[in-house]
Amino acid sequence: MVTQLTSMVGQLGAVAAATPLAAALARFGWTWSYGIAAGVGVVLGIALVIVVRDSPYTGEAVERIKMRALARTMAEVWGNPGTRLGLWVHFSSQFGPTVFTMLWGYPFLIAQGLESTLASGMLILMTVTAMVAGPVVGLLTSRIPYHRSTLVLVLVTAIATVWAVVLLWPGPAPLWLLVLMVMVTAVGGPGSMVSFDLARTFHPSERYGRANGMINIGGFVASLLTIGLIGLVLDLRAPGGPATYELADFRVAMAVQFPFWALGALQLVRYRRKGHALIGRHPGAMQALREGQAVLPGLSGPADPGPDDEAPPSRR
């Protein structure tokens, strides 16, 4: 739930940034607008280095990271089926809304016949929907941890289904259907956060950060590949550039999302089985999961530090 609420704050940042960015694009054009945004990012990065501390524990010496211990634990984190289950959850559910909001959603909606103002409003609708859906997904995740992966499978199926209806609709899709598509796709963002709760189940608390980092790779790899493939298909079908894109071109191009949804769902089912097998080796863990516990006996929670990764006294 905390992760979902934190994500809501990030979504508020996206909404807050939309208006000044749109104004800058209208006044200064793409190059200057994004150049200014990048420059602000550099300034903020310097401020973070100067102001933000690495640890809330003041007055302590910096903890040294031993590369041998780090390499060993990274291998153990990757070898855990829960990490891979989380990665494929993130892969399956996150790329849809990312691809839509980052690049291809707006021109796709324009090709559907929407005016620019309405198309922009649809992107804001996607952000607001994700904000509203986040706490709901967080509540379901905390109440029924045994069914977390099923929740994501249902969500991915719903996203793929509504996209199939839109792309197969004869002619431009009606507005109500586009609104439905945008709202259903938006829930994929909160759905991808379920992956980080899976890390909590399959790893001791000392390894959450490493597990989350690996899991986070999944959705963004899928997003970048999908964005690139859509552009490649559009280039092949409309070599004249964006001014020549037609709805038929977008129908074919946006269909490249379906293999990613299918691959993600298949791998999700595969590693869910392996995850259940791992949980079943720990007495009482599966029953605890069915009863609504996400931190399981013998599997997750604080771990005893080993000789290579001993925790500082304040964290024992």
What are residue 204's DSSP bridge partners? 301
Return the pLDDT at 60. Answer: 56
Q: Which residues of 121-155 are buried (b: 16+ CB within 10 A; e: fewer)?
A: ebbebbbebbbebbeebbeebeeebbebbebbbeb
> Is the Cβ–Cβ distance between 287 and 249 less than 8 Å?
no
3-state SS, residue 240: coil
Domain-wise residue ranges, the chain: 1-50, 70-294
Please tell me whether the overall predicted TM-score, pTM, comes out greater than 0.85 for this model: no
Sign, CA torsion 180/181/182/185? positive
Per residue of the chain (316 residues), what is the pLDDT tens digit? Answer: 888 888 788 878 877 777 787 788 778 888 898 899 899 999 999 999 999 877 666 655 555 667 777 788 888 899 999 999 999 999 999 999 999 988 899 999 999 999 988 998 898 899 889 989 999 999 999 899 999 999 999 999 999 999 999 999 999 999 999 999 999 999 999 999 999 999 999 998 888 889 999 999 999 999 999 999 999 999 999 999 888 999 999 999 999 999 999 999 999 999 999 999 999 999 999 999 999 998 998 888 765 444 444 444 333 3
Largest Cα span, the chain: 67
Q: Which residues contact 55 (CB under 8 A, 6 or more apart)?
A: 63
Helix 116-143 and helix 148-168, axial crossing angle in degrees, nearest 10: 160
Return the pLDDT at 65. Answer: 65
**CA-CA-CA-CA torsion for 84, 88, 90, 93, nearest 10 degrees?**
-160
Q: What CA–CA distances, in Å, run from 169 to 162, 173, 261?
A: 11, 6, 20
> Is the Cβ–Cβ distance between 101 and 119 less than 8 Å?
no
R_g of the chain, CA atoms, integer Å? 22
Give the C-alpha separation, 73 to 65, whole Å: 12
Return the pLDDT at 57. Answer: 63
Q: What's the CATH number of domain 70-294, 3.40.50.10440, 1.20.1250.20, 3.30.70.1280, 1.10.132.50?
A: 1.20.1250.20
Return the pLDDT at 197. Answer: 92
3-state SS, residue 312: coil
Query: Whose CA is closest to 172, among 181, 184, 159?
Result: 181
